[in-house]
């Protein structure tokens, strides 16, 4: 089902590159343009062709290539904000499994093998199991969701994700009445993840994140398998990651291998390391500063010393009308 939320999340279709034009510049689907045309994708108004012009062709798995022509393009957008260049989105990352510098993930993630990949669904569900990713994805149609992404470090991007609502998966696996939270676990493979081999790492691997069940069921929450019209690059969380656009980026656990429905709030990785700095909820809130810097402003990438791109941070990252009701009556300074 095409989700089209108005208010904080709408923009003009003319602000995004026509996907048919974009695909013609890539080799992702090889010579399949005739098949693509036959699917009847919606035509989009002419747009600046430079928006996706820097996207590098990937090596998509077969299941992804087969789903891509049937994608619901621009299922959600943002109003009046340019998409972050592909190079910035893929070469300025926090993915400590591959190193602590922003360029380390792009430099070191090439060894990650996203095929074959399995996802374990367990805990308080009626239909637990371990699923090969291609089987995991079979029931779900891809949607393009153009979302703001706000890092807790006070920088931000606008990224066109490809994925599906997490709520679809939850309905499929049938949470029991005891399920109150979801615990996500990322890949633990020191052989290909140098950050996990470091003797100086403060993180206890694997990386763990969590959501309250109603947050997971919100239509904005997605599991992403692609971005910029192609599969996820390794440094961005291939082959499966969480995207929750009203929360700080560290909630977006990457390279997911396990999704557990649990009755108690899970202790997440950064909450375990520094609970006074990184709370469980991690909602973007310009009124609640990080202990070491303000959260009222952010640096939108690309940005430089002589061309700073600084803007005011929006409550819930601009998605207040869609998610504020989830936290009615809560003290957001205490529940940060």
CA atoms within 13 A on the CB side of 334: 4
Point out the least confidently predicted range of 35-39, 165-169, 273-277: 35-39
Find the mean pLDDT for residues 295-318: 94
Cα–Cα distance measured from residue 20 to residue 43, given in angstroms and rounded to the nearest whole number: 8
Ramachandran region of residue 29, left (φ > 0), alpha (ψ -120 to 50) or beta? alpha
Find the mean pLDDT for residues 247-262: 98
Say what the pLDDT of residue 211 is.
Answer: 98
Question: Is 303 exposed, middle or buried, given 0-12, 13-18 or 19+ CB atoms closer than 10 A?
Answer: middle
Structural domain of 295 = 7-325
Find the mean pLDDT for residues 273-283: 96
Residue 330 domain-assigned? no
pLDDT digits (tens, 9 = 90+) for 223-235: 999 999 999 999 9
Residue 335 domain-assigned? no
* β strands within the chain, DSSP E: 72-76, 118-123, 129-132, 143-150, 155-165, 181-186, 208-212, 222-227, 230-231, 241-243, 256-262, 297-300, 310-312
Strand partners, 2: none
* Predicted confidence (pLDDT) at residue 5 exceeds the cutoff of 50: no
* Predicted confidence (pLDDT) at residue 170 exceeds the cutoff of 70: yes
Say what the pLDDT of residue 228 is.
Answer: 95
Nearest C-alpha neighbor of 112 from the set 196, 205, 223, 202: 196
Find the mean pLDDT for residues 239-258: 98
Question: Do 278 and 250 contact (CB within 8 A), yes or no?
Answer: yes
User: What total of structural domains would you count in the chain?
Assistant: 1
Q: Report residue 51's pLDDT band, with 50, 70 and 90 as the boundaries.
A: low
- The rounded mean pLDDT for the chain is 87
Residue 215 domain-assigned? yes
Residue 225 domain-assigned? yes
Point out the least confidently predicted range of 12-21, 110-119, 183-192, 301-310: 12-21
Cα–Cα distance measured from residue 257 to residue 130, given in angstroms and rounded to the nearest whole number: 9
Say what the pLDDT of residue 69 is.
Answer: 92
Residue 66 domain-assigned? yes
Say what the pLDDT of residue 200 is.
Answer: 66
306/17: higher pLDDT = 306
Say what the pLDDT of residue 78 is.
Answer: 95
CATH code for position 250: 3.90.420.10
Q: Report residue 45's pLDDT band, with 50, 70 and 90 as the boundaries.
A: very low
Residue 331 domain-assigned? no
Residue 2 domain-assigned? no
198/91: higher pLDDT = 91
Say what the pLDDT of residue 305 is.
Answer: 81
Cα–Cα distance measured from residue 324 to residue 75, given in angstroms and rounded to the nearest whole number: 21
Say what the pLDDT of residue 246 is.
Answer: 98
pLDDT digits (tens, 9 = 90+) for 109-131: 999 999 999 999 999 999 999 99
* Predicted confidence (pLDDT) at residue 105 exceeds the cutoff of 70: yes
Q: Report residue 57's pLDDT band, with 50, 70 and 90 as the boundaries.
A: confident
Rounded to a whole number of angstroms, the distance between the first and last alpha carbons of the chain is: 33
Cα–Cα distance measured from residue 275 to residue 236, given in angstroms and rounded to the nearest whole number: 25
* Predicted confidence (pLDDT) at residue 6 exceeds the cutoff of 60: no
Say what the pLDDT of residue 54 is.
Answer: 75
Residue 291 domain-assigned? yes
């Amino acid at each position: 089902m095409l989700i089209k939320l108005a208010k904080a999340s709408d923009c003009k279709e003319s602000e995004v590159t026509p996907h048919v034009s974009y695909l013609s510049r890539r080799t992702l689907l090889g010579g399949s343009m005739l098949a693509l045309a036959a699917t009847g994708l919606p035509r989009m108004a002419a747009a600046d062709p430079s928006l996706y012009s820097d996207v590098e062709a990937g090596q998509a798995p077969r299941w992804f290539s087969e789903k891509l022509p049937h994608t619901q393009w621009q299922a959600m957008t943002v109003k009046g904000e340019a998409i972050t260049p592909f190079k910035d989105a893929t070469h300025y990352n926090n993915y400590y499994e591959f190193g602590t510098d922003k360029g380390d993930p792009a430099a070191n993630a090439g060894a990650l093998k996203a095929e074959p990949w399995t996802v374990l669904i367990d805990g308080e569900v009626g239909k637990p199991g371990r699923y090969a990713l291609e089987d995991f994805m079979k029931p779900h149609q891809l949607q393009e969701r153009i979302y703001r992404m706000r890092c807790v470090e006070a920088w931000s991007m606008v990224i066109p994700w490809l994925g599906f609502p997490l709520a679809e998966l939850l309905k499929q696996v049938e949470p029991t009445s005891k399920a109150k939270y979801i615990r996500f676990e990322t890949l633990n493979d020191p052989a290909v993840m140098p950050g996990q081999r470091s003797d100086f790492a403060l993180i206890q691997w694997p990386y763990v994140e969590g959501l309250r069940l109603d947050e997971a069921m919100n239509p904005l929450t997605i599991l992403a398998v692609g971005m910029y019209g192609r599969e996820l690059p390794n440094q961005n969380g291939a082959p499966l990651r969480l995207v929750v656009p009203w929360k700080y980026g560290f909630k977006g656990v990457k390279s997911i291998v396990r999704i557990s429905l649990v009755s108690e709030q899970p202790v997440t990785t950064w909450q375990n390391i520094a609970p006074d700095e990184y709370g469980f909820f991690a909602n973007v809130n310009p009124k609640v500063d990080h202990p070491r810097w303000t959260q009222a402003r952010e640096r939108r990438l690309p940005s430089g010393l002589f061309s700073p791109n600084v803007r005011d941070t929006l409550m819930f990252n601009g998605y207040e009308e869609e998610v504020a009701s989830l936290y009615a009556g809560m003290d957001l300074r205490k529940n940060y």
